[in-house]
Amino acid sequence: MGEAQTVSYQELLAASKAAFDEVPDFTVAVEEEFAILDPATLGLVDRFEDLQQAARGTELEPHLVGELIASEVEVRTGRCDTFAECADRIGERRVQLRSLADAVGVGLSSAGTHPWSPWQEQRIIDTPHYRRNDEILRYVVWRNNTFGLHVHVGINGADRALRVNSAMRNYLPELLALSASSPFVEGVFTYLHSARTQVFTRMFPRCGIPDWLGGWDDWEEYVRFLYETGSITEHTQMWWSVRPHLQFPTIETRICDAQPDLGEARSLAALVYSLTARIARALDEGEPLPSWPHRLLEENLWRAIRHGMSGELLDLERGEAIPARARLNQLVEWVLPVAEELGAAQWLAIPDRNAAERQIARHDEGASMEEIFKEQIAAGERVPG
């Protein structure tokens, strides 16, 4: 590595640690990824640059970004001081994006995968960041036509943030089970509830459930190792399902499938936010939290990928399988006091059926893939108050 790059990552680490030591607790931001559709065929269409051009000079411009392929667009709430503000922004961004899409003449969908459009036909957007990822990853990045929902939560204190990140590992399977929305991909009914996770998390390097890290020094040592060995060229090439973000002083939870329904997107974000805050409070108060080994968490992650909310998750304390819904209700009960304190409780809800279950039920009834996809698109067009 050249000296300029060494200085660059050293400065990045120093600036990130300082930012974590200054950020107030429990700020929040949400990022949602959407597929861009041909309104006639409902297939993916390369129109991101048209949306980007149409957004110039609008309120949405600074909050709309590209995300790998030209048939995908991401919108961001921006940093919010309360979850109530963030919930409003999630709705506002969807309305703004839909208005833009209507003006440009494209459709939108928000589910973990597109049901049938071939990855071979998608074009990677022409930015230095994605050109580098294309050169490094090749087939791995070409296959990643997936769509997620990410939640950033500000955690004050660099060591504390890393401990929160480590504890969040324990709950990634539950969050995936709740968010699963992608049983179809490449024209196939996969029998998975989250094909997105199988495509993205199982293929990318430095992805999925991270190792347990005890504090900032462990994290810094790992980041330095990756840069100094040439394993990464920029910090975003650590694609863990929950990660300390080196540009923003947040813990970013990235495990979740995108959500067709706005209300469910808000509920999912509220749970991630409340869970992150609940963990921070537990650490502050000396409440014991588990640090389950990777091999056990992987068992639960596979259960979430395969059966989502319809299956069972392992209660690792008791060493037994319990219904995923029961496990999620336990989680909501655990975070509820902090959610009430932070004003997020009104959004907490476990649906009777999540997006994957609704799609699978329709498949079992004999509905076609196109009919099911149209229903998911229609769900995304509903705008509750």
pLDDT of residue 370: 97
Tens of pLDDT, residue by residue over 286-314, are: 999 999 999 999 999 999 999 999 999 99
Alpha carbon distance 305, 180 (integer Å):
8
The residues, any chain, with a CB within 8 Å of residue 79's CB and separated by 6 or more, are 27, 28, 29, 152, 154, 248
Q: Which residues pair with 322 in a beta bridge?
A: 313
Q: What is the pLDDT of residue 2?
A: 37
**Could you give the C-alpha distances from 322 to 175, 291, 351, in angstroms and in order?**
16, 20, 18
Reported as a single tens digit per residue, the pLDDT across 123-167 is: 999 888 888 888 999 999 999 999 999 999 999 999 999 999 999
Residues 140, 204: contact at Cβ < 8 Å?
yes
Q: What Å distances lie between residue 177 and 35, 111, 194, CA to CA?
A: 21, 14, 8
Whether the CB-CB separation of 254 and 240 falls below 8 Å is answered with yes
Indicate the helix (H) or strand (E) that contains 243: strand 242-244
Per-residue model confidence (pLDDT) at position 384: 54
Closest CA to 180 of 365, 367, 383, 355: 355
Whether the per-residue pLDDT at 182 is higher than 60: the answer is: yes
Residue 326 pLDDT grade (very low, low, confident, very high; cuts 50, 70, 90): very high
Contact present, 208 and 241 (Cβ < 8 Å): yes
Is residue 323 predicted with pLDDT exceeding 60? yes
Average pLDDT of the residues in 82-99: 98
Supply the pLDDT for residue 1.
33
Nearest to 100 by CA among 64, 72, 71, 67: 64
Give the whole-number percent of the chain exceeding pLDDT 70. Answer: 97
DSSP helix/strand/coil, 323:
strand
More confident residue, 369 or 132: 369
Say what the pLDDT of residue 6 is. 44
For the segment 69-81, what is each residue's pLDDT rounded down to a tens digit?
999 999 999 999 9
Mean pLDDT (the chain) is 95
For the chain, give me the number of helices (H) and strands (E)? 14, 13
The closest of 185, 40, 31 to 107, measured between CA atoms, is 40
Query: Tokens in use for 108?
Result: 């939108």
- Predicted confidence at residue 385, as pLDDT, reads 46
Nearest to 326 by CA among 345, 305, 310, 340: 310
CB 283 within 8 A of CB 165: no
What pLDDT shows up at residue 356? Answer: 98
- The pLDDT assigned to 315 comes to 95
- Measure the CA angle with vertex 208, ends 22 and 287; round to 5°: 55
Token pair, residue 111, equals 């589910």
Over residues 110-118, mean pLDDT: 97
pLDDT band per the 50, 70, 90 thresholds, residue 8: confident
- The SS3 call for residue 124 is strand
Angle at 254 (CA atoms; ends 170, 146), nearest 5 degrees: 130
- Assign 382 a pLDDT band (cuts: 50, 70, 90): confident
Contact residues for 74 (Cβ-Cβ < 8 A; gap 6+):
31, 32, 33, 34, 64, 65, 66, 67
pLDDT (0 to 100) of residue 383: 62
Cα–Cα distances (Å) from 51 to 47, 55, 60, in that order, read 7, 6, 10
Over residues 42-52, the pLDDT tens digits come to 999 999 999 99
Instruction: Give percent of the chain above pLDDT 90.
Output: 90
Length of the chain counted residue by residue: 385
- Please state the rounded mean pLDDT for residues 14-28: 96
Q: Provide the CATH number for the domain formed by 3-379 in this structure.
A: 3.30.590.20
Tell me the HSE value of 356 on the side-chain side, using a 13 A CA sphere: 32
241-252 residue pLDDT tens: 999 999 999 999
The domain segmentation of the chain, as residue ranges, is 3-379
Q: What pLDDT score does 130 carry?
A: 87
Q: Are 35 and 109 in contact (CB under 8 A)?
A: yes
